[in-house]
Structure 1
Amino acid sequence: MKKLVQLYMNSYRGLSTEAWLLALVMLINRTGSMVIPFLSMYMASELHFSKAQVGMVLGCFGLGSVCGSWLGGWLTDRLGNFRVQATSLLLAVPIFIILPQFRTFESLAGMIFLLTLVADTFRPANSVAVARYAKPENLTKAYSLNRMAVNLGFSVGPALGGFLAMISYSWIFYGNAIAALSAAVVFIIFFRNRKPRSTAPLQQKEEKIITKNDRNAYRDVPFIVFNVFCCLFSMAFFQLLSTVPLYYKEVIQLSEVQIGMLLGFNGFSIVVFEMLLVHGVERRFSPRQVMIFGTAVAGISYFMLSIPLGIAWLYFAMFVLCVGEMLTLPFTATISASRATPNTQGAYMGFNSLAFAAANIFSPYLGTYVAAHFGYQTLWFGTAGLLIFTSIGFSWILKKM
């Protein structure tokens, strides 16, 4: 036990103060992550939307995320990550507050698009901030710390959201608004006068930030192919936030509290194990090897969902999915940041965020369509197969990169 604690402490060693502060902001923001995991159930149970309508609204969620990711990367290269992050957090607050008033399919779809457009401009700006404030030798650790904060918040948010949903689904939106406002206040206090460890020039109207030595993220063919496989991974993985909660509710017949606890277990497992796992594997294996294995493990977890063996089995399947997530997602950010130059970090991180966000346009609709027409068993087999295919794809493209 003592050695395990020592290893855990070593995994955090060397991280900058700014990396910890960014993680704190992310933790506060994601503690309010109540809307996303309960959105599909809210539409199905409270608003009585069909599965097709649920899938289309969640597709608008993904479309807004795509636009927000692109816009966030574009704005970050021009305005700097501080302004983009602060503005995104502050503008999200009133949208969360008024969202429960929109109860028709068309109006809710529009508001969900606006919400994710605003909220997801934060993501590439935050990724750039991590790269700017982290020590170069600790970049993967810094991203893992940030993800740990995300998942610590996600372990609390769904569990709290489950209790609030038992009172009223409207309370999950208000909880998200409070968290976003708190994160904005803390971020502005800590970072308004801080200077990054590495700087990149902001684009001026009369200047070009791209030089002949800088790659263009959107013309970098190997990076484009890499992002296609990131998108496929996301399409499969993020069934966790669309069809999996519906499966728990409709087939397994769990309560909102039980679903919140089960989804929160995902975040809790990552908090406990990710830094240890990343610290251990990055010294022994290449990012390519880790991502191949991690994607395949995620596929196994979805196959496990096709075997109904009770609540304990669902927790075990969730833990297996967590292992796959921990072995894949931190290294996608590291690879993207490493391939960029200081002048193009915003574009590269924005493109990578866009790859994950793009999946949310198609993933919810395809997932709900397959579940409605062919059943959840078919969905889980198809999701597992897609992840195995993506594992092979990562093996091929990362060897070329």
Structure 2
Amino acid sequence: MFNLINKYTNTFKGLSREVWWLALITLVNRTGAMVIPFLSLYLTEDKSFTVPQVGWVMTSFGLGSFFGAWLGGKLSDKIGYYKVILGSLFATGLAFVLTQYVDTFAGMCVTFFLLIAVADAARPAFFVALSAYSKPENKTRSLTLIRLAINLGFSAGPALGGLIIATIGYYGLFWIDGLTCILAGLLMMQTLNPKKARISDEEKVVENPIAPEKDFPYLLFLVAFSLFGIIFVQYFSAMPLYYRQAYELSERTIGFLLAFNGALIVIIEMPLIAYIEKTTMSNLQHVVTGLVLTAVSFLVLVITPWAGILIIGMIFMSVGEMIGLPMGNAFALERSKKGRQGAYMGLFTMSFSVAHIFGHNSGMQLIDLLGFENTWLIMGGVGAIATFLVLIVIRIIKRQQLNETVSLSKI
């Protein structure tokens, strides 16, 4: 047992102090992010919205995320990641507190657009900060540590959120979400002030960097990653409804089932990433593995009505997430050019925002029209299309690398 624990802790060695602080800030922020997993239930049960209306609120959520990611990427290159993250945390905290007082459908759509736009402006800035605070050889593990913090917070958040709903109601979630965002901002001011923080990555600025909009393999990867996101986000909007309506699970049980995903990631992801980094497979090949596992997580749900299949599906999704998402992030960071890093990571974040725009709403509309099982089959098909696109990107990049090698040999 001691040897196992020692091997686990060794996977964290070599990461900078600033990355650990960034992870702690993320943990504080994500522990309070309890509204989002329960949003579909909140809107249907507390606000009496219909399922299609919930889908449109989720689309507004996605549009806000898309706009915020674009704005955050631009601002990160112009004013720096620190100001973007700090401003986003404080503004998001205030926005969460105010959101609970909105009752109308139109008002909820506008409110969630603005709330998520402000919140997701920080996402590309976090990637830029992570790159600055990490040595090149540690970037994937640093990214995994941040994801671990996110999922540790997400493990505690839904479980605590279910208890809060059961005791004091939904309004408590908005207050806690808002206050933890503000607390995360205060913690950042104390620990990551750019005048005191140490920059680990001193990469040289590339002359005439390629704009991400002109990088075709990267754009095709973003399309595939958006499709990946579309099936992934079902677990945080459509799937809670499935747990409730098809299996009659309580909010508390749903919270613990979602927390199981985060717990698996906290325990397994860092050693898993440390292991797969030693393999000869590329980041994109690992993305393919993650996509296949995530698609399978939907397909197993139609096999049997046995309630235990929900746990099996969650395991498939969790492992697919642990492999696919961090390696996709690593590919984007690797592909980004210094000086345009904010723009690259802004587009990367926007690709997942597209998933919020179309994923939540399409899931809700498909459930309303075709039922849960047909929707899960369709999601499996979307995963297959995304896998095919990533395989095309792998082939294009290999061809580009071969052409570059031939060109260098002629010099």
- For structure 1, the 5+ residue unaligned runs are 202-208
Structure 2 residue 373 is the aligned partner of structure 1 residue 372: no
* Residues 297-336 of structure 1 aligned to structure 2 (within 5 Å): 297-336=293-332
Maintained 8 Å contact 1:11/1:275: yes
1:191 aligned residue: 192
Q: Equivalent of 1:394, from 390, 394, 399? A: 390
Residue 308 of structure 1, CA deviation? 4.2
Determine if contact 2:132/2:200 at 8 Å carries over to the other structure: yes
Deviation track 1:302-358 (CA, whole Å, cap 9, x = no partner) reads 112223444432122111110000110001111111111220111111110000011
Q: Whole-Å Cα distance in 2 between the matches of residues 82 and 157 of structure 1?
A: 26
Counterpart Cα distance in 1 of 2:249 and 2:304: 13
Q: Once the 2 structures are TM-superposed, how far is the Cα of residue 275 of structure 1 from its aligned partner?
A: 0.4
Structure 1 residues 80-119: aligned runs within 5 Å: 80-119=80-119
In the alignment, is the contact (CA less than 8 A) between 2:18 and 2:198 conserved in 1?
no
Structure 2 counterpart of 1:172, which letter? L
The corresponding residue for 2:243 is 248
TM-score normalized by the length of structure 2: 0.93
Cα distance, 1:148 vs structure 2: 0.5
Deviations 1:41-84 (A, max 9, x none): 11111111111100000000000000000111000001111000
SS in 2 for 1:77: helix
Deviation at 1:111, TM superposition (A): 0.5
Alignment partners' CA distance in 1, 2:130 and 2:327: 14
Please report how far the alpha carbon of residue 398 of structure 1 lies from its aligned counterpart in structure 2 after TM superposition.
2.5
Q: Which residue of 2 aligns with 1:206?
A: none
Aligned to 2:128: 128
Residue pair 2:41, 2:241 contacting (<8 A) in 1 also: yes
**Residue of structure 1 equivalent to 2:169:** 168
The answer on 1:294 being equivalent to 2:303 is no
The equivalent residue for 1:340 is: 336
| Partners of 1:90 and 1:181 within 8 A in 2 | yes
Q: Give me the identity figure in percent.
A: 36
Moved more, 4-13 or 17-26: 4-13
Instruction: Identify unmatched segments of 5+ residues in structure 2.
Output: 398-411
> Residues 62 and 355 of structure 2 are in contact (CA less than 8 Å); yes or no, is this contact kept in structure 1?
yes
Preserved CA contact (<8 Å) 1:199 1:342: no
CA-atom RMSD in angstroms = 1.5
Q: Does structure 2 retain, via aligned residues, the 8 Å contact 1:24–1:149?
A: yes
Paired residue for 2:215? 220
Q: Is the 8 A contact 2:72 2:84 kept in 1?
A: yes
Q: Is 2:137 aligned against 1:137? A: yes
CA distance in 2, matches of 1:376, 1:105: 24
Q: Distance in 2 between the 1:109 and 1:161 partners?
A: 23
Distance 1:399 1:199 in 2: 31
CA deviation after TM superposition for structure 1 residue 282, in Å: 1.4
Q: How many residues align?
A: 393
Is the CA contact (8 Å cut-off) linking 2:231 and 2:382 kept in structure 1? Answer: yes
Does structure 2 conserve the Cα–Cα contact (< 8 Å) formed by 1:66 and 1:358? yes
Deviation of the 1:35 alpha carbon: 0.9
Q: Hey, what's the Cα distance between the residues in 2 that align with 1:187 and 1:113?
A: 25
1:268 alignment partner, one of 263, 273, 278? 263
